[in-house]
A = this chain, B = another copy of it.
Amino acid sequence: MTRSEENYIKTIFHLGRQGMEAVSTNAIAELMETKPSSVTDMIKKLSEKDLVNYKRYQGVSLTDLGTQTALGIVRKHRLWEVFLVEKLDFSWDEIHDIAEQLEHIKSDKLIDRLDKLLDYPKFDPHGDPIPDKNGDFKERDRKLLSEVAIGTKGVCVGVKDSSTSFLKFLDRNHIALGHQIEVLEIEEFDGSLNININENNMQISHQIASNLYIKISEQ
């Protein structure tokens, strides 16, 4: 598989996750910052190789083979991200672009050894699950902070938006994965929240809350 084919497969995988329906040509084009016509060209090639199901004008979805391929790439991407943070002391906002390159390195042995070096991590630095060698992974039971009730207590376990600007914002405000969170108040007017995080009270906008995942603590 070429690098470009891998990137398309991965994009279709990510778009397909939220909802099982077919992924549109335009959605792929937008996410990949390319043109719809280029997407159509590539889809034909992927369809030819039985990586995607495709009927003209009907959108596209991954076959089982395509899904396994995508999981392999996602596994590599996320393991490299863990490596960059754990072994090379990168911060979580610096790793995505480098992992975009590293995910295309071809060597099963390499990635399995890396997995071992990192002690078989289950989640990446952004809280996303890492598929194992067989493509299996457990989606953690988590909720967006913007969708829980007042009084909810939990632990911050992931981010939905992992853009540099959002991650740097979190760093500046001392919000990190693993921190205890309690929702104290929710402002009707703009949906902003008053929370206690890691022993500190603070006010966060609805925007922020809708990009933070928490795992709700049992009572």
Contact = CB atoms under 8 A, between A and B. Distances in A.
A117 interface: yes
Interface string A79-105: 000001001111000100110011001
Per assembly, the copies of the chain total 2
A174 interface: no
Main SS of the interface on chain A?
helix
A72 B109 CA distance: 26
A177 interface: no
A87 B88 CA distance: 13
A31 interface: no
Nearest to A113: B88
Interface in A94-148: 94, 97-98, 101-102, 105-107, 109-110, 113-114, 117
Interface in A43-90: 84, 87-90
